[in-house]
Amino acid sequence: MNFLAHLYLSGGDDDLMIGNFIGDHIRGNAINDLPERIRQGVLLHRKIDQFTDQHPIVHQTRIRIRPHFGKYSVVASDLFYDHFLASRWNEYSKTELHDFADGFYRKIEDYHEVIPERTKHMLTHMIPHNWLVGYASLQGIGKAMKGMSRRASFTSGLEKGEEVLLEGYEKYGQEFSLFFPELIGFVRNDSGIDLIQE
């Protein structure tokens, strides 16, 4: 899953949310230097990724888009699913998406000391362009994927993301709707997190 899903799946716990957000940028023994609850957030991030990567519905999505994105189909599917979470946000949260995003952007300022440099650099783009809210529109997710395509080390096809998503929109949306409640159940059972946002 991509950024929005990881933040949502932290259940409103600030420390857990920060760990879940920086999870991809924590390598090796660096996890041991983090405060305990943030470290648990990094571990939760990894559990979410493992559950997602092994799920048969996600596997179906990735097989379908692989001709377009190759090895970047994992990235593309994560972004597709974040689009559906953002565009259907009110089905999963009582907090408006704009308010949720703004709250996160404010919170992360208090965690400057534990944020990896790669994450800090990313935030200089993420916050001004409000990626989390942008994911809700086809244009926004397309823009995000074009940006990732420019930064990719190899040919990714991600610049075609909006077009590919639109072509199979109903099917990808159905797969998200089947998968995401199972992911919520997994997180709730594994970590005891209440995912109904107030």
- pLDDT tens for each residue of 126-158: 999 999 999 999 999 999 999 889 888 888 999
Secondary structure class of 189 (helix, strand, coil) = helix
In the three-class reduction of DSSP (H, G, I as helix; E, B as strand; rest coil), residue 95 is classed as: coil
Q: Does residue 198 sit within a domain?
A: no
Question: Is 170 within a domain?
Answer: yes
Stretches where the chain sits below pLDDT 70 are: 194-198
- What long-range pairs does 58-63 form, CB within 8 A, spacing at least 24? 58/175, 58/179, 60/175, 61/172, 61/175
Smallest Cα–Cα separation from 158: which of 137, 142, 170, 173?
142
pLDDT of residue 196: 53
Range of the domain at 14: 3-191
50 is a domain residue: yes
d(Cα 167, Cα 24) in Å, to the nearest integer?
Answer: 30
Residue 196 lies in a domain: no
| Number of compact structural domains in the chain | 1
pTM for this entry: 0.93
pLDDT for the residue 195: 66
Identify the pLDDT of residue 77.
97
- Is residue 40, in this structure, part of any structural domain at all? yes
- The residue with tokens 């970047």 is 72
Residue 197 lies in a domain: no
Q: Is residue 101 part of a domain?
A: yes
> What pLDDT is attached to residue 13?
92
Question: How confident is the model at residue 86, as a pLDDT?
Answer: 98
> Are 195 and 111 within 8 A, CB to CB?
no
Residue 87 inside a domain? The answer is: yes
